[in-house]
Amino acid sequence: MGGLVYGAASGCTDGGMGWEGQLNDFVLKANGSLDYDLINNFGYLSIHEMTEIGKAMSKNIYNSSKLYSYYQGCSEGGREGWSQVQRYADQFDGAAIGAPAFRQSHQQPNHDWPQIYEQSIEYAPNACALEKIVNETLAACDALDGKVDGIVARSDLCSLHWDPKTAIGQSYSCAASVAFNPITGGLGATTPAANGTVNENDVSVFLAVQNGPYDSQDRHLYVGFLPGTDTSSNAAGTYSDTTGAYEVAEISDIGAEWITELLQEVNSTTLSLNGVTVDTLRGWMLEGMQKYAGTLNTVWTDLQEFNEAGGKVIHYHGEADNSIPTLSSVIYQEQVRRVMYPNASYEDSLEKLHDFYRLYIIPGAAHCSPSAENGSFPQTVLGSVIEWVENEVVPTQLNATVLQGPNEGKADKICTFPYRPMWNRNATEQECVMPEKEVLDFWFPVLDSLPLNSYGNA
Ligand code: CA
């Protein structure tokens, strides 16, 4: 339906798995071996074939001499978008790509990092303590962007200017709550009321999730989440009625299936952490890189052909995404810049890159969805891609709209990364500023644990 509002014909595909199923339902054959036909379909092939057929049909039906074609999608749909742009330079004229779930070999095991860390320190925080640290972060960092609105629009400045350890000793209090059970539609697990003070272990878990995993030799394995992101859903322990204490939560389906089914080739949605350490996590990432290079992982092409064919990409990611790290998008674009323009100055290479590929970090936004506060969210990304391709309207800033709260309906503009927002004149005027070097360095962490790091340098 996404194309209709732009007067376009659009298509979608079940990838050969049926509309009810997902890859993990079918990826293991009855004899326990992997179905590589389905993996390749899911990885990139089905969307490519659908697009070729859809373009030929549209050309016949509309009898049009020039036919433009576009892609849009978020999360797994974002990964699928890059899978097309990277492989088929002249297939799409443009793509609107949100929070892509790419680099799966890292992204999927990374879901298990909070629980692996908690097991290593034998401590699991309650959600209330983690929420308190997030609230303290908001209080300390909201104004760093020049506008007090409940949104941390400068997580980079927040990281440099605020230490979560200052939350130690602060008291928290949350009422008892009952979770909604999405399967039965009724009530699920009860979380008792929580009262206490933030301790060192709470902050240590919070920082582990925020910074991402470091291996046993203190080398950075992968990125975590930006300051201001609510990490309580990832890292909160489970209350035990028997012991009256919080225990390390069980690994979620999404964190288990990649390892059990795609790596271990065992048909199971549960994963035991018995004996699992950060170095096991590193091993899983390495194994996934080797096993799925070229299929489910980010494939490197220099995108020059796509650029020369006039292709344009708008890539966006919520600054407070707690599912797919915002930094995973940032380091991807940085990889593109370094590989395509190795000899140009930083400013010159950005200018060339921004001719066809722009990244926007949406302040306060969660995973493919708006923030719960006053933040805005882009509603017409594909429209901006079309304007850029067909009418040369450069999206210097991406149009967005406030979708909730007292400012609902208000228009907003999102800066092209690495330019970042700063509000002036009593928070009435937004400027997009180039961060200082120290602040820029925050966005490009050195990942030195794996032999081939995420910037593509051997
Ligand atoms: Ca703010």
Whether residue 165 sits in one domain with residue 202: yes
- Local confidence band at 453 (pLDDT 50, 70, 90 cut-offs): low
3-state secondary structure of 23: helix
Catalytic-labelled residue, pool 105, 145, 367, 412: 367
**Same domain as 132, residue 83:** no
Q: Note the pLDDT of residue 456.
A: 58
Tell whether 9 and 96 lie within a shared domain.
Answer: yes
Asked if pLDDT for residue 73 goes beyond 90, the answer is yes
Q: Judge whether 367 counts as a catalytic residue.
A: yes
Distance 143 CA to ligand 1 centre (A): 5
Q: For residue 356, is pLDDT > 90?
A: yes
Q: Pick the catalytic residue: 10, 58, 75, 120?
A: 75
Residues 330 and 425 in one domain: yes
Q: What is the pLDDT of residue 242?
A: 92
Residues 388 and 433 in one domain: yes
Neighbours of 8 (CB within 10 A): 14
The answer as to whether 454 is a domain residue is no
Domain end residue (candidates: 248, 265, 289): 289
Same domain for 45 and 173, yes or no, is no
Q: Tell me the C-alpha distance between 54 and 236, whole Å.
A: 45
CA 132–ligand 1 middle distance (angstroms): 18
What value does the mean pLDDT of the chain take?
A: 93
Residues 45 and 76 in one domain: yes
State residue 27 phi and psi, 5-degree precision.
Answer: -65, -25
* Of 10-14, 47-51, 333-337, 425-429, minimum mean pLDDT range: 425-429
Number of independent structural domains in the chain: 2
Q: How many angstroms separate the alpha carbon of residue 452 from the centre of ligand 1? A: 37
Q: Which pTM does this prediction carry?
A: 0.95
Cα separations in angstroms, 211 against 10, 150, 161, 327, 378: 40, 22, 15, 11, 27
Return the percentage of the chain with pLDDT > 90, whole number.
81
Instruction: Looking at the structure, tell me whether residues 238 and 332 fall in a common domain.
Output: no
Q: Tell me the one-letter amino acid at 302.
A: D
Residues 80 and 132 in one domain: no
Whether 307 has a pLDDT exceeding 60, the answer reads yes
Phi and psi, residue 313, nearest 5°: -125, 130
Domain span including residue 214: 108-289
127 Cα–ligand 1 center, Å: 24
Name the catalytic one among 46, 321, 371, 449: 321
Give mean pLDDT, residues 150-170. 97
In the reported structure, the alpha carbon of residue 380 is separated from the centroid of ligand 1 by a whole-number distance in angstroms of 23
228 found inside a domain: yes
Q: What is the pLDDT of residues 363-411, one digit of tens each?
A: 999 999 998 788 999 999 999 999 999 999 999 999 999 998 888 999 9
144 phi/psi in degrees, rounded to 5: -65, -20
For residue 457, being part of any structural domain is answered with no
Instruction: Report pLDDT for 41.
Output: 94
Q: pLDDT at residue 191 above 60?
A: yes
- β-strands 411-415, 420-424 pairing: unpaired
Q: Is 177 a catalytic residue?
A: no
Give me the pLDDT at residue 458, please: 33
Burial 263-287 (b: 16+ CB within 10 A, else e): beeeeeeebebeebebeebbebbbb
pLDDT score recorded for residue 231: 87
Assess whether 224 and 146 both reside in one domain: yes
Q: How far is the CA of 42 from the centre of ligand 1 (A)?
A: 39
- The pLDDT of 131-150, averaged and rounded, is 96
Say if 318 falls within a structural domain: yes
User: pLDDT (tens digit, 9 = 90+) per residue, 334-347?
Assistant: 999 988 998 999 99
The answer to the question of residue 449 being in a domain is: no
> In this structure, which residues have their CB less than 5 angstroms from ion ligand 1?
142, 145, 147, 149, 151
Q: Is residue 46 domain-resident? A: yes
- CATH value at residue 434: 3.40.50
In 212-258, which ranges are continuous DSSP H helix? Answer: 232-235, 253-257
- Which residue in 106, 102, 36 sits closest to 286, CA to CA? 106
Inside any domain, residue 456: no
- Between the CA of 406 and the centroid of ligand 1 the distance, in Å, is 15
pLDDT of residue 427: 82
Query: Are 196 and 264 in a shared domain?
Result: yes
CA of 190 to the centre of ligand 1 (A): 34
Q: What pLDDT is stored for residue 55 in this prediction? A: 94
Q: Which of 57-66, 222-231, 264-273, 400-409 has the lowest mean pLDDT?
A: 57-66
Same domain, 247 and 112: yes
- β-strand partners of 178: 190
DSSP string covering 66-111, please? S---EEEEETHHHHHHHHHHHH-TTT-SEEEEES----HHHHHHHT
What are the tens digits of pLDDT across the range 213-245?
999 999 999 999 999 999 888 999 999 989 989
Residue 446 in any domain: the answer is no
